[in-house]
Amino acid sequence: MVGAGHNGLVAACFLARAGLKVLVLERNPYIGGAAVSRRLYDGFTYSNCSYVCSLLRTEIIRTLDLPGHGLQIIPYEGGCTLMRNGGHLALYDNHDALRREIARHSRRDAEAYDRFARDMLRHCRFIKPLLLRAPPDPTSFKPRDLGELLHLGRHFSNLGEERMYETLRFWTLSCADLLDEYFESEIVKAHLAGSSIIGTALGPRSPGTAYVLLHHYMGSIDGTVGAWGFARGGMGAITQALAAALAASGGEIRCDAPVERILTRNGRATGVALASGAEIPAKLVVSNMDVRRTFLKAMDPAELPPEFVQRVRQFKIRGSSGKLNIALDGLPRFPAIPAGSPCVRGDLHVTDSIDMLERAYDDWKEGRWSQRPYLDMLIPTQIDPTMAPAGKHYMSVFVQYCPYALADGPWTDDKRASFGRTVIDSIAEHSPGFRDLILHAEIRTPYDIEREVGLTEGNIFQGELTFDQLLFNRPVPGYAQYRSPIKGLYMCGSSTHPGGGVMGAPGANAATAILGDLRR
């Protein structure tokens, strides 16, 4: 197994449980990939890539008994969107409180919200059973593929005529058009639209972003659909629990062991060569890396069919998000949020309107970071005291958009600092005195994420979630079932169906495919 990210570890766990002898190789001195907790400043723990949890499949948590291996997920309540004019929209768990809050902006939208939530739930229910299945190849005549296609068709037609049309439309709609069908208030729309652009090189007006919105809705915590939470001890707790589960099944993990090359002979994978020169033979090689890295960097493209290589080159992995991890001397104040409101413990967004999000995207298209970025801020230390010393706080700030390649030349330390200033200035507009609280800030551009985590272009999903790269097209048409053109080489990263987020489904599906091939 190449890479100890959450998908690599999930796949490794399932393979080890089936009795295979599994070795996980990790390039960094620590495991976790993009689900990692790190101590970069005295006494503080940062969730320094992914920062909240919801998508991790319940089936995986239960089967691998992750709570038994130390994983604790704490849901947070609500959230809030802060506007530049001092206004805000808070979201609460409590349904009545939520309705009152939305009605403060628009009475009609308060009514519409229930309809919206119900419809989103329905779309979730449609897609959920598909997450843990390998997508069929629609061009194949194999009985398995035809069977899966038929299953898909049945699943779809069970929706009933009305719902089928709604679903067809939903998959191709832009988030802005979707929200326009329900809401009139700009702030309500902007609040909801945030999830449709996270990690995506598209704007809220781009068709297909309604799906990205859904992608962030389909998780659950303890059966509460759409709920998000913190992993106690940071996101690294998830991969630590997976590592513990793996150890319990007899799997082995080796850190500081960067894989230089995947070895093949006669079209079959035979093992890997480490950067140190050591070769490790294996019957099967599974790559947790994204497809571009797996096939273009760790292999000689000449060993692969040329059309496959071309498709891998064309697979779109675009860096569009940045991240700040900030150690704070105290809890920042947000005057817009009423004192004592629980929403400050949830995710705080900074944006005014769909237009503002769209303009932030226009900046990205031109190769600069957004001058008015969309921010998703969380202060997990309000709920999880293990991440910072008493009285101090850790704040995670997700920034959309930030390009991997700038129009005016490569990233430099100065540019990174300037990007950080743009973000901090944005926060300070809503939180007076914020700058004085900062003890340490880690600023991460897509370029940094690529260097550190190994994600091509720093794309958090290992590939854009657009229709041309979903289901049977992900990552390459004809190779959507976790197998590669090389016998004995499999893919299990987020580049595969059903895509990114700390979900674990690609890892679990890859393990199923591998065990199927081994007839175990």
Tell me which residues touch another protein (CB under 8 A): 138-139, 157, 159-162, 164-166, 168-170, 172-173, 177, 180-181, 202, 205-208, 314, 316, 355, 358-359, 362, 365, 466-468, 472-473, 477-478
User: Residue with structure tokens 């999880």?
Assistant: 384
Query: Which amino acid, residue 304?
Result: L
* Minimum separation from the CB atom of position 179 to another protein (A): 12
Cis bond leading into 498, ω under 30°? yes
User: Which residue's CB is nearer to another protein, number 165 or number 222?
Assistant: 165
- The structure tokens 């194949």 sit at 140
Quote the least distance from Cβ 126 to another protein, whole Å: 14
H or E element in which residue 274 lies: strand 268-274
Least CB distance to another protein at residue 452 (A)? 27
Looking at the Cβ atoms of 467 and 520, the one nearer to another protein is 467
In the complex with another protein, the residue whose CB is nearer, 408 or 414, is: 408
How far, in Å, CA of 136 to CA of 80, rounded? 40
**Nearer Cβ to another protein, position 74 or 168?**
168
Q: How far is the CB of 486 from another protein (least distance, A)?
A: 19
226 or 301: whose CB is closer to another protein? 301
C-alpha–C-alpha distance, residues 121 and 106, integer Å: 23
Cβ-based nearer residue to another protein, 172 or 224: 172
Residue (459 or 466) nearer to another protein, CB: 466
508 Cβ contact list (under 8 Å, min separation 6): 10, 11, 14, 57, 59, 60, 132
Helix, strand or coil, per DSSP, at residue 326: strand
Q: 244: which residues sit within 8 A by CB, 6+ positions away?
A: 69, 70
**Separation CA 331–CA 334 (nearest Å):** 10
User: Least Å distance between CB 360 and another protein?
Assistant: 12
In this structure, how many other beta carbons lie within 10 angstroms of the beta carbon of residue 144? 13
Shortest distance in whole angstroms from residue 68 CB to another protein? 42
How near is the Cβ of 202 to another protein at its closest, in Å?
A: 7
DSSP secondary structure letters along 356-425: HHHHHHHHHHTTS--SS-EEEEE-GGGT-GGGS-TT-EEEEEEEE---SS-TTSS--HHHHHHHHHHHHH
In the complex with another protein, which residue's Cβ is closer, 288 or 320? 320
Minimum CB separation from another protein for residue 465, in Å? Answer: 10
Alpha helices in 198-321 (DSSP H): 209-215, 236-248, 291-292, 306-314
Closest to another protein by CB, 181 vs 329, is 181
- Which residue in this structure is represented by tokens 């895509």? 499
Smallest distance from another protein to CB 159, Å: 8
Tokens linked to 28 = 């960094």
Task: Map residue 184 onto helix, strand or coil.
Answer: coil
